[in-house]
Structure 1
Amino acid sequence: MTAKAQRTREHGRTRRLGHTRRRVRLLLAAAAVALFTGGVLIGTAQGGGDAIPADLRGWGEIRSASDSETGLEAVAAVQSKGWGTHVALDLGNLKGPLNCRLVAVSAKGEESVVTGWAVPARGYGAIGSSDHLQVHGGIAIPLTDLDRLVVRADGVGDLLTIPARRD
C-alpha cells in the first residue's frame, strides 16, 4: 500500500472515530437532560407545596391550607364514618414549643376537639427538625356538616384554618 493510500485510510478511520465520539457525547448529553428533567418533574410532583403526603392519600377527601406569614402548611384527609368524621392531619413548618389541638367547627359554629399534641422546641417539619407531624382523630360532627378545621395553640390562639366544605 502506498503512503498516500495509508494516510487516506487512517484519515477515514480518524473521521469515523470523531463522528462516533461526537455521537456518544450527544447521546450522553441527551440522557443527562432527560434524567434532570425527569427528576425535576418527579420532585415537583412529590415535594411541591400542594403535595399530598402518601400516608394521607387513602384516608379520604383532601383539604389543605397554608399561611405565608408563618410558613405553616397543613393537609387534612376527612372521611365520613357511621359515627361521624375521621380526620387525618399532616402539619409542616410547625415551630415549638407549643401545646396544640385540632378543632373541628360545624356549619352551625359548634366546636369539637379532634385531637391534641405537644410541639417540642425544634418543631415539626421546620428547618433542623424531624418530619412533619401526623395525627389522627375523630369527631361526632358528620362530614356534611363540617365547615372547617382549626389548628389552635394554647396561649397563642388560632394558627391556621383549613376549609372543610366542598363548594
Structure 2
Amino acid sequence: MSASFPDPGAPGGESVAVTLTKAGRVKIRYPAELVRDDGTRVSVRAPWAAPGVRDFGFVRFEPGDVLTEHYWRDRWFAVKEVRTGDGVLKGWYCDITRPAVLADGVLAVEDLDLDLWVSADGTSVLRLDEDEFDASGLAGRDPAAAGEAVRALDELERLARAGELTGLLA
C-alpha cells in the first residue's frame, strides 16, 4: 500500500510507516502521522509503538505515550520528543542514524546504535549505547559512517548542554 504525500511544507495528516532498521534487519515498523515535510526535515507523530513498558531507569516509555519524531534527510540523527498521553513532556530521545529516506509511504531510518537522552528540564543529558556502537563493528566496516555517527552524537550533546536542542525543532 502506498500513501500520497503533500508538497514539502504542506500540512500533514498523511499516514506513513516508520521503518527502523539496525544491523540490516527491521528492528521495528509502526504507523505514524506525517506532521511536516519541508524537504529536509520530516516530522511524524505516533503513539509508543513497542509492546508494554520500557523502563530505562532515567525514563519510562509506556502505552499512551506520544512521540513527535523529527528526521532529517541531511543529518545523521533523529530527535524524538516524548510526552505522556495527557501531554506532559518527559524529554527527548535522540537516535544516531543515517539520513532518513521517505519514499512510497515509508520513512526508512537506519539506527547506528548511539543515542542521547535529554530530560524535560534539560538537567540530565546522557550519552547511551556507546558500548553497542563499539561492538557493532561499524568503525571497521564503514569508517566514514562511524565518524559521522560520532560527530552527530557530539553535536546533539553540545546543543542539549547549551539548551539549544529545541531550536532544531522550530
The higher-RCO structure (CA 8 Å, 6+ apart) is 1
The structure in which a higher percent of residues are strand is: 2
The structure in which a higher percent of residues are helix is: 1
